[in-house]
Amino acid sequence: VSKGAAGPTERGFIGVGLLGMGVVGTGVAEALSIHGSFLQESVGLPLKLQGILVRDAGRSRSALVDSSLITTQSKDVLENPEVDIVIELMGGEDAALPAIRGTLADGRSVVTGNKEVMAKHGAGLLAMARAKGASLKFEAAVGGAIPVISALERGVTGARVRALRAIINGTTNYILTRMAVEGMAFEDALSDAQAQGYAEADPGNDINGTDAAYKLAVLATLAYGSPVSPESIYCEGIGHLTPRDFRYAHDLGYAIKLLAIAKEIGDGELDVRVHPAFIASDAQLAKVDGVYNAVQFDSDSAGELLLYGRGAGSGPTTSAVLSDLIEVARRLTGHGGPQSRQTPGTGSRVRPIDELDFRYYLRLTVSDQPGVLAAIARILGDASISIASVIQQEVDETAGSAEIVITTHRARESALRDATGKLTALDVVREIGSIIRVEE
Ligand code: NAP
Ligand code: HSE
């Protein structure tokens, strides 16, 4: 804040700058325009929008928001001395990271929904905020309306989190639910999720698991007090799943969900991964459908705990941004509590997926001829992979092919990888359609 500039109390209001007025930014701008008095009651001073940065000046915007606030010049927001708090809702790293850094370097506070920036640069930015006496809040970055960041910052389980399993991407959960329940095509379900404002600007990040991996990096870092980088997280998306996998999953008593998992596994190591998984259909996470997200903690003192709510979309995400905004604003007016615990400690090793053991579901298309099953069983047996069940249901007589579905007992990922290489090389195996881990 520039020297000699009036602070919020002398000025009589808290100035807010907004970066981005898309799906979430519009919700926030409308809430600040409409619910000013409610927010004033919570904070003690009015919160006034001072400027809104966008990229495209010609785009039509909400009629509820004063259009004179909209600018394409970042300095109008970032260099405005009457902006005390910057809300960053542009997404991505390119424009967002320097804007957040510059704001914190000025000693001003930031609220963001940017999981990419927090996953990649969170530790450094939080250190900068602490050094400058500013706040950096990011509840909207994970889980939409679910207050999972503040839960972790406050130590919700009262003890160490042994494991967290989460559904933290609304777009993919929406797609998987519609594919499973209505047999909807992948592309139709994705278009619908985009139209509802759930998907990222690049929906590839939702589909290939990157968005969930960013969020998991943020959660695991908070849960284990140890920086977990997104690059260290094994990540697999949902693009290869087919309606047949959902049918087999159902018949075997499972649901398929894109899970984000972080567990302590001893010796200072963590198991941290994002991939589609079979989960028992009576498990709580199996019942989390549509755009809903859930984070399940397993801790020694609290036992199991499930946080559940809408994980994407304008309204739920706006609520998370506003709760952070109120907290930061209350601190500025001297009514806030202390800064929350956000200091990562030293590193834990993330154990590579190849060194972990899972049960697997395999779906193979094979030539319909004698000895095929025996050849497959031999390769799995030689790799010490024990078969738990086999289904051969579908036979395409014209193509002379059959479909074999195998579930295995626990086996080492590296062994499964070697075995699937050998299976693919068999003349009688036409395709390995799916390999999905079973989360027990
Ligand atoms: P969005 O709809 O794509 O909106 C992005 C906004 O930022 C647009 O107004 C865009 O301007 C502006 N913008 C982007 N790059 C800019 C630049 N370089 N300079 C100036 N303005 C720029 O995104 P969103 O869905 O609201 O998401 C915003 C953030 O919230 C992202 O970090 C996202 O991951 C996070 N988030 C989103 C959701 C959700 O459900 N959508 C939920 C949780 C968190 P124009 O309007 O001119 O294009
Ligand atoms: N694209 C994200 C999702 C938005 O679908 O979960 C919420 O972070």
pLDDT score recorded for residue 42: 87
pLDDT score recorded for residue 361: 98
Q: What ligand has the least distance to the C-alpha of 203?
A: 2
Catalytic residue among 115, 215, 257, 263: 215
pLDDT band at 337; cut points 50, 70, 90: low
- Tell how many helices (H) and how many strands (E) occur in the chain: 15, 18
Q: How far apart (Å, rounded) are the C-alpha atoms in residues 90 and 15? A: 19
Task: Report the relative pairing of strands 401-408 and 357-367 from DSSP bridges.
Answer: antiparallel
Q: Which atom of ligand 1 is nearest to the CA of 94?
A: 18
Look at 68-82, 190-204, 264-278, 393-407 and tell me which has the smallest mean pLDDT.
393-407
pLDDT band at 73; cut points 50, 70, 90: very high
Phi, psi of 348 (to 5 degrees): -105, 155
pLDDT band at 158; cut points 50, 70, 90: low
Q: How far apart (Å, rounded) are the C-alpha atoms in residues 192 and 293? A: 17
In this predicted structure, the answer to whether residue 379 has a pLDDT above a threshold of 70 is yes
Distance 54 CA to ligand 1 centre (A): 9
Look at 108-122, 282-296, 328-342, 360-374 and tell me which has the smallest mean pLDDT.
328-342
Tens digit of each residue's pLDDT (9 = 90 or more) over 394-435: 677 888 899 999 999 999 999 999 999 999 999 999 999 999
Answer yes or no: 257 catalytic: no
In this predicted structure, the answer to whether residue 15 has a pLDDT above a threshold of 90 is yes
Longest dimension (CA), the chain: 87
The residues with which 167 forms a beta bridge, in sequence order, are 294
pLDDT score recorded for residue 401: 92
Q: How far apart (Å, rounded) are the C-alpha atoms in residues 397 and 368? A: 8
Distance 113 CA to ligand 1 centre (A): 9
pLDDT average, residue stretch 298-319 = 93
CB atoms within 10 A of CB 151: 18
Distance 141 CA to ligand 1 centre (A): 12
Whose CA is closest to atom 33 on ligand 1? 91
pLDDT band at 335; cut points 50, 70, 90: confident
Q: How far apart (Å, rounded) are the C-alpha atoms in residues 352 and 191? A: 34
In this predicted structure, the answer to whether residue 129 has a pLDDT above a threshold of 80 is yes
- What does pLDDT average to over the chain? 93
Structure tokens at 173: 């959960």
In this predicted structure, the answer to whether residue 156 has a pLDDT above a threshold of 80 is no
pLDDT average, residue stretch 275-284 = 98
State whether the beta carbon of 55 lies less than 6 angstroms from ligand 1. Answer: yes
| Full-model pTM | 0.96
Distance 311 CA to ligand 2 centre (A): 7
- Residue 1: HSE in the Cβ half-sphere, 13 Å Cα cutoff: 19
pLDDT score recorded for residue 341: 54
Whose CA is closest to atom 7 on ligand 2? 312
pLDDT average, residue stretch 44-68 = 96
CA R_g for the chain: 25
Whose CA is closest to atom 12 on ligand 1? 20
Identify the residues whose C-beta falls under 6 Å from ligand 2.
144, 169-171, 198-200, 206, 211, 311-312
In this predicted structure, the answer to whether residue 343 has a pLDDT above a threshold of 60 is no
